[in-house]
Amino acid sequence: MSGELGTSPLLAIAGGPGLRINGEKVYLRPLGHADANDRYHAWLNDDELNRYSERRGTSYSHDDILAYLDDANTSPALLQQGVFMIEDNNHVGNISLRVTNVGARVAEVATLIGEKDYWGRGVIVDAGKALIHFAFQNLKLRKVTLGNYAINRASTFKSRQLGAKPEGRFRQAALIDGEYVDVLEFGLFAEEFYETFPDLTGRPASA
């Protein structure tokens, strides 16, 4: 690992622009300007897709995406990766890891599967599994957190599939479609993750 958390761009610490993290169905890699195509732009402006996201209700331009990718790739706290299908290299979504506490080595994972044809096919879990394995093995994080709105049952199911444990419920902490909803928080330590996925123990986390 080159550099310490919080002192250098997280992408540089993780392996730089050539980083590739392999899952079973997908692989993850950093995104650049060439990836900011019309499909990506459409994802960020799709109301259904972003109903349970902090992006909801906001419009994004092509320049907004370029600026975000530039910021992400130089951020000391954020590792932004595209989710690509191994079978055909199709870019189907994004996943990010944001360091929320450098001293305690804690980070939050968030996901977006933009291609709706891939919903319900295990892609989001495979991507999360690959990134969390990388976070524990290569970045030496202690804990990963995941959060979602309680009404988003698919996201709750994803967190539980990854081995995360419920840690809190923030009652009526968000406003969705005119109604106040609860926000759930899940946490995952390395030992819990590898109890869930013992086949990953000792397996390299990146290519």
Q: Is residue 86 part of a domain?
A: yes
Alpha carbon distances (Å) from 141 to 12, 41, 75, 178, 186? 16, 32, 17, 37, 16
Q: Is residue 117 part of a domain?
A: yes
Interhelix angle 123-137/153-161, rounded to 10 degrees, is 40
Residue 52 pLDDT class (50, 70, 90 cuts): confident
**Whether pLDDT at 67 is above 60:** yes
DSSP-derived letter for residue 3 is S
Calculate mean pLDDT across residues 51-68.
86
Please report whether residue 47 resides in a domain.
Answer: yes
Mean pLDDT of 82-108: 97
CA atoms within 13 A on the CB side of 92: 25
pLDDT given for residue 3 in this prediction:
64
| The pair of three-digit structure tokens given for residue 146, joined into one six-digit string | 């995941």
Please tell me which residue, 36 or 1, carries the higher pLDDT value.
36
Domains in the chain, number: 1
3-state SS class at 62: helix
For 97-154, the pLDDT digits (tens) are 999 999 999 999 999 999 999 999 999 999 999 999 999 999 999 999 999 999 999 9
Tell me the HSE value of 189 on the side-chain side, using a 13 A CA sphere: 4
User: The pTM is what?
Assistant: 0.94
Let me know if residue 88 belongs to a domain. Answer: yes
pLDDT at position 194 is 97
Instruction: Count other Cβ atoms within 10 Å, centred on residue 190.
Output: 17
CATH of the domain at 125: 3.40.630.30
Residue 1 confidence (pLDDT): 45
Answer whether residue 155 shows pLDDT above 70: yes
* pLDDT at residue 80, as a whole number: 97
